């Protein structure tokens, strides 16, 4: 347990040692005069030292040596650190996705794979943490996670589970069917959770396993605590597996968690905080006494020792869960906070006393406070009462609160403790103010950006009492002050500052600047000047006069004078991301590193001598190669029809007017009126068109469905996803929801999907069992089994039908890691079953109880990689065959070159399979394809309003029959195929 937070201002102002509970005499807060004097200490007196890189939170913490050195992987590079400071890095420049240390009981001296690292599919071993990393081989899929196993380091991939021996050598496959997650406590004791949620325990090093699912129901995660296996169950329950293999429920876990850094008992930073103390200090901290920083966390102000990264003191504040930020003004340190109903200013010298509140109900969404560091604070809005109604944006004729740079025409400036001064702009300037800057003694400067390229007749500078108004033209060269921007509003902004002679310097929104910012100086006469950023700058993070810029070649430059000048800095000690995320006067967050300190010119600039890194444009990942490929050839000429100027799916007798297209699975499309569903009422019709599933003739079924069928909540269904249900010799579809919106009435009434009373979670597979449909829905840790009674009436496309009532039979709680499997559903004989198959084709089957929705024990099946066509002599029906429907993305593809110009897109497909422990056979398949002969554009993107697929069926003996279907706007092409079978 960490020590309790302090509730006075003492530890924030004086040395933390004088405020510890070990002091024998009671602690009393310092006098107000002493607190004020400490808070007003010049930032230059805070010794941050030369800028340095630190590691606040490592990507992978590996271990702590006896000398107190932490070994970790940060931004892909191996580093050693003491406290927060990086003291050593690996000599090579290799970057890794992850790393771990082999289990202690498996390691011999100088073991070649004492440390296991991986990058995508390739696995490396190293005898020393910073030593040479040698390749051990490549896996069939990228590594997703690691775990300790009885004889080495376990690696989980989408295509199976592998183990690396500390002695080195290629990774070997771990033969555990349905493995989702597993963990060993020692050389003999280990626990495995399967994809269907069953638990298997070994006490003899993996030679045998016993089923402990009844004792560990709904187990989801495993960790090692001390000498015990700690198993987390659904909800708040847990169990322990002790050294004898006994499962204990009446004892709390003891000891540290393996592979987790030991707790720092001297660190008062809340354990539940989402960021570290150093991250918070770099993001929005202030320089404080003795080289420390002042920052905030949930409900408290923290003093952070920048040398160790620890929070040495906490001051509880009354704002609870409000968002807060610290700042420094002329007479001390303050804290500003915001909640949905109010904004608050707190005085830190008095222990967090609330000095002023501002009402926020219905207030526009703009920046709340503006600070001129060390000088003054202002609130964007009136001093009393609610914010006034905003004038319309004169440029965009819209509300200025919708991501606009326009600000309130009223500004409230803090003159002294408890004394605030309100400034109001004249009506002529009220619609164009883009920034306020507070000044000492309650004065203020308003920056007004008038639309246009030049000022016409308006004075550049006007002074009215303590309010100074500076006017520029929005597009006055070199300015380009955008009307709207993508940047979010801030609780506290430090963007602009006013010098004693009236010059404005800082950062303004720009339509052409990196991160939509430009470094600008406006002289006392109101003439603007823009300062150049480093060449090829792509992003910049700023805080007052400080800023960090990143270039296209991953070089970093800093500024400490509001962007007037920039100096190159040394990169972080990694080859990882150098993206500056946020900055303060303490430093910057850069990727997983934090840079503490700034070079204000007193230190020589460090030249980055590393070669520039290329920064290629983002490319959509190429789909994974298929396990097996369907070998087909053209069996005849193509047949097509086309009607010009039509936007319907395929050919129609008359042209269909332009409308907004949508996608229905990969088998159909819809057209919605361009005005879309309107909030005032659902008007118009949706034109639905689709090709029935597994129909070799590939006719187009059309239906016109009123949009009012969607119900009272209007939305535009750009895409309707489908789940697949096996119904005897047919495959039928059900509608699944996307982004919480259900368009099932459109496809139900069109006759494409089974009406089940709405949508189910995506993905969904199911089977018709008697008069009911059994559905398995969802993925990962959120799955359900439900049943729906089939409608008793025959449906007519275009007419509404009554749906059956869907009833949830049970919830499934697969463990973490089960998401690497795809699910299939069907029947074995007359009994429903579910099959899980991984990316390598390994498959297990579990019986599905049709009444309770529970899954029975797993049974290994043949690998999908051994798929054969159903017409193959080896695929004669057998009693233990399970007939299922399997949705997939890339598991089945097309043989290269068999259909010239046609390739599998790797985006969607489903297959009907007969599966047993000895073989797996393909009866029918549909898969999305690309036909370069008819494509309007290159790439893997499937545009809405089109259908491109291959349908193939294997019935009887001999080759199978297939059809290539390509449907576009006003055009359709079909071509018969002959499919010989499956190739690898």
**Cα of 159 vs its chain's centroid, Å:** 23
Q: In this structure, are residues 117 and 130 in contact, taking their beta carbons and an 8 Å threshold? A: no
**What span, in angstroms and rounded, lies between the C-alpha atoms of 714 and 727?**
33
pLDDT digits (tens, 9 = 90+) for 554-599: 889 999 999 999 999 988 876 556 788 899 999 999 988 899 999 8
pLDDT of residue 39: 42
Burial of 258 per CB tally in 10 Å (0-12, 13-18, 19+) = middle
How is 714-750 classified by DSSP, letter by letter?
-----EEEEEEEEETTEEEEEEE-BTTB--HHHHHHT
Comparing CA positions, the residue from 121, 70, 124, 62 lying closest to residue 92 is 124
pLDDT of residue 438: 97
Q: State the 10-residue block means of pLDDT for the chain, 984 residues long.
A: 45 44 32 45 52 79 92 88 86 87 91 94 95 95 94 94 95 93 96 94 96 92 93 89 91 87 86 87 89 87 90 79 87 89 88 88 77 94 77 46 70 94 93 93 95 88 95 89 70 94 93 87 95 93 94 91 93 74 93 87 62 55 85 95 93 92 93 66 82 97 90 76 95 83 89 91 94 88 87 62 77 84 95 96 96 94 96 91 96 92 91 97 95 71 85 92 95 96 91
Total number of residues shown for the chain:
984
Sign of the Cα torsion 876, 881, 886, 888 reads: negative
Q: pTM of the full predicted structure?
A: 0.81
pLDDT of residue 123: 97
Collect all residues with Cβ–Cβ distance below 8 Å to 530 and sequence separation of at least 6.
478, 479, 518, 519, 520
Q: What angle do CA 291, 566, 460 make, to 5 degrees?
A: 105
Q: In this structure, are residues 675 and 659 in contact, taking their beta carbons and an 8 Å threshold? A: no
Q: What angle do CA 970, 975, 979 make, to 5 degrees?
A: 145
Q: Where are the alpha helices (DSSP H) in 3-67?
A: 10-13, 32-39
First to last CA, the chain: 58
Alpha-carbon distance values, 81 to 51, 55, 480 (Å): 16, 8, 45
CA Rg value for the chain: 33
**What span, in angstroms and rounded, lies between the C-alpha atoms of 42 and 39?**
8
How is 883-933 classified by DSSP, letter by letter?
EEEEEESSSEEE-TTTSTTEEEEEEEEEEEEEE-SS-EEEEEEEEEEEETT
Collect all residues with Cβ–Cβ distance below 8 Å to 737 and sequence separation of at least 6.
721, 759, 760, 761, 762
Q: In this structure, are residues 702 and 972 in contact, taking their beta carbons and an 8 Å threshold? A: no
Collect all residues with Cβ–Cβ distance below 8 Å to 40 and sequence separation of at least 6.
330, 331, 332
pLDDT of residue 801: 53
**What span, in angstroms and rounded, lies between the C-alpha atoms of 569 and 140?**
40
Q: What angle do CA 407, 413, 419 make, to 5 degrees?
A: 150
**What span, in angstroms and rounded, lies between the C-alpha atoms of 845 and 825?**
9
Reported for 841-846, long-range contacts at CB under 8 A and 24+ positions apart, including other chains, are 841/159, 841/627, 841/865, 841/866, 841/891, 842/160, 842/177, 843/915, 843/920, 844/177, 844/178, 844/194, 844/195, 844/196, 845/882, 845/915, 846/196
Beta strands at 920-931 and 947-953: parallel, antiparallel or unpaired = antiparallel
Task: Read off the tokens for 537.
Answer: 């700058």
Q: What angle do CA 331, 333, 337 make, to 5 degrees?
A: 125
Q: In this structure, are residues 496 and 444 in contact, taking their beta carbons and an 8 Å threshold? A: no
pLDDT of residue 54: 87
**What span, in angstroms and rounded, lies between the C-alpha atoms of 380 and 387?**
9
pLDDT of residue 798: 56
Three-state DSSP string of 411-456: EEEEEECCEEEEEECCHHHHCCEEEEEECHHHCEEEEEEECCCCCC
Q: In this structure, are residues 945 and 661 in contact, taking their beta carbons and an 8 Å threshold? A: yes
pLDDT digits (tens, 9 = 90+) for 448-474: 999 989 888 889 999 999 999 999 999
Alpha-carbon distance values, 917 to 175, 197, 211, 843 (Å): 15, 21, 21, 9
Task: Read off the tokens for 807.
Answer: 């009833």
Backbone torsions φ then ψ of 981, nearest 5 degrees: 155, -150
Q: Where are the alpha helices (DSSP H) in 251-297?
A: 277-284
- Give the HSE-up count for residue 799: Cα atoms under 13 Å, Cβ half-sphere: 6
**What span, in angstroms and rounded, lies between the C-alpha atoms of 955 and 83?**
68
**What span, in angstroms and rounded, lies between the C-alpha atoms of 157 and 926?**
27
Task: Read off the tokens for 294.
Answer: 């002042």
Collect all residues with Cβ–Cβ distance below 8 Å to 171 and sequence separation of at least 6.
123, 136, 137, 139, 155, 162, 163, 164
């Amino acid at each position: 347990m960490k020590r309790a937070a302090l509730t006075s201002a003492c530890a924030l102002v004086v040395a933390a040692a004088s405020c510890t509970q070990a002091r024998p005499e009671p602690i009393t807060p310092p006098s107000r005069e002493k607190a004020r004097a400490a808070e007003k200490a010049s930032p230059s007196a805070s010794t941050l030292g030369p800028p340095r890189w630190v590691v606040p939170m490592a990507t992978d913490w590996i271990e702590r040596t006896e000398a107190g050195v932490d070994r970790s992987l940060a931004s892909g590079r191996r580093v050693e650190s003491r406290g927060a400071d990086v003291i050593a890095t690996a000599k090579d420049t290799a970057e890794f996705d992850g790393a771990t240390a082999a289990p202690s009981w498996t390691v011999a001296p100088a073991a070649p794979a004492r440390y296991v690292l991986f990058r995508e599919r390739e696995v490396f071993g190293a005898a020393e943490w910073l030593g040479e990393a040698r390749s051990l081989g490549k896996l069939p899929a990228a590594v997703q996670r690691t775990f300790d196993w009885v004889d080495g380091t376990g690696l989980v991939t989408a295509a199976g589970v592998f183990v690396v021996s500390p002695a080195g050598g290629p990774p070997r496959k771990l033969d555990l069917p349905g493995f989702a997650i597993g963990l060993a406590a020692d050389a003999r004791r280990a626990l495995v959770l399967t994809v269907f949620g069953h638990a298997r325990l070994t006490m003899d090093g993996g030679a045998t396993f016993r089923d402990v699912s009844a004792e560990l129901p709904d187990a989801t995660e495993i960790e090692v605590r001390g000498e015990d296996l700690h198993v987390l169950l659904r909800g708040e329950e847990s169990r322990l597996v002790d050294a004898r293999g006994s499962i204990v429920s009446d004892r709390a876990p003891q000891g540290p968690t393996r592979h987790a850094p030991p707790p720092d008992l001297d660190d008062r930073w809340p354990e539940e905080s989402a960021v570290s103390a150093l991250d918070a200090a770099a993001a929005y901290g202030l320089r404080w006494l003795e080289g420390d920083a002042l920052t905030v966390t949930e409900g408290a102000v923290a003093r952070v020792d920048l040398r160790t990264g620890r929070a040495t003191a906490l001051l509880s504040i009354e704002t609870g869960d409000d968002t807060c930020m610290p700042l420094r003004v002329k007479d001390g340190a303050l804290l500003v906070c915001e909640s949905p109903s109010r904004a608050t200013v707190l005085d830190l010298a008095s222990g967090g006393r609330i000095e002023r509140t501002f009402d926020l109900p219905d207030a526009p969404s703009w920046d709340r406070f503006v600070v001129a560091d060390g000088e003054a604070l202002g609130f964007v809005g009136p001093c009393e009462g609610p914010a006034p109604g905003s004038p319309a944006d004169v440029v965009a004729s819209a509300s200025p609160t919708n991501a606009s740079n326009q600000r309130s025409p009223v500004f409230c400036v803090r003159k002294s403790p408890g004394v605030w001064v309100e400034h109001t702009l004249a009506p002529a300037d009220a619609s164009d103010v883009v920034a306020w800057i507070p000044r000492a003694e309650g004065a203020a400067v308003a920056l007004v950006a008038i639309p246009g390229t030049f000022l016409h007749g308006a004075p550049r500078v006007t002074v009215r009492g303590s309010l100074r108004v500076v006017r520029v033209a929005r597009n006055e060269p070199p300015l380009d002050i955008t009307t709207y921007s993508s940047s979010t509003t801030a609780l506290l902004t430090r963007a602009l500052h006013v010098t004693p002679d009236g010059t404005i310097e800082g950062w303004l929104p720009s339509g052409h600047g990196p991160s939509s910012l430009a470094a600008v100086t406006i002289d006392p006469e109101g003439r603007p000047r823009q300062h150049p950023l480093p060449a090829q700058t792509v992003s910049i993070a700023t805080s007052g006069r400080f800023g960090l810029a990143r270039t296209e070649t991953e070089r970093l430059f800093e500024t400490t004078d509001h962007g007037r000048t920039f100096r190159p800095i040394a990169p972080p000690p990694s080859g990882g991301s150098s993206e500056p995320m946020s900055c303060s006067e303490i430093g910057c967050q850069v990727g997983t590193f934090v840079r503490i300190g700034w070079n204000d010119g007193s230190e020589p600039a460090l030249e980055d001598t590393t070669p520039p890194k290329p920064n290629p444009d983002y490319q959509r990942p190429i789909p994974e190669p298929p396990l097996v490929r369907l070998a087909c050839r053209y069996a005849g000429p193509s047949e097509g029809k086309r009607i010009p100027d039509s936007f319907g799916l395929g050919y129609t007798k008359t042209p269909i007017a332009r409308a907004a297209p949508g996608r229905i699975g990969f088998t159909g499309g819809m057209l919605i009126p361009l005005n879309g569903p309107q909030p005032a009422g659902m008007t118009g019709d949706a034109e639905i068109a689709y090709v029935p599933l597994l129909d070799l003739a590939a006719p187009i079924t059309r239906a016109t469905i009123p949009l009012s069928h969607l119900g009272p909540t209007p939305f535009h269904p750009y895409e309707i996803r489908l789940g697949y249900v096996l119904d005897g010799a047919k495959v039928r579809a059900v509608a699944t929801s996307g982004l919480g919106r259900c368009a099932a009435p459109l496809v139900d009434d069109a006759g494409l999907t089974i009406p089940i009373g709405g949508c189910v979670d995506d993905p969904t597979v199911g089977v018709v069992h008697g008069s009911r449909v059994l559905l398995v829905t969802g993925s990962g840790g959120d799955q359900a089994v439900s049943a729906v009674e089939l409608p008793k009436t025959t449906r007519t496309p275009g007419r509404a039908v009554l749906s059956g009532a869907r009833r949830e039979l049970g919830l499934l709680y697969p463990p973490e890691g089960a998401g690497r499997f795809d699910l299939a559903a069907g029947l074995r004989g007359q009994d429903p079953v579910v099959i899980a198959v991984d990316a390598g084709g390994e498959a297990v089957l579990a019986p599905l109880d049709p009444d309770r929705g529970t899954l029975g024990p797993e049974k290994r099946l043949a690998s999908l990689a051994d798929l054969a066509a159903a017409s193959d002599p080896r695929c004669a029906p057998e009693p233990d065959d399970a007939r299922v429907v399997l949705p997939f993305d890339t598991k089945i593809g097309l043989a290269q070159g068999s259909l010239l110009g046609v390739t599998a897109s790797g985006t969607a497909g489903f297959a009907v399979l007969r599966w047993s422990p000895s073989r797996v056979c393909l009866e029918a398949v549909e898969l999305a394809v690309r036909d370069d002969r008819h494509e309007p554009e290159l790439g893997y993107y499937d545009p809405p309003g089109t259908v491109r697929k291959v349908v193939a069926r294997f019935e009887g003996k001999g080759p199978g029959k297939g059809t290539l279907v390509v449907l576009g706007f006003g055009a359709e092409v079909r071509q018969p195929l002959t499919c010989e079978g499956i190739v690898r």
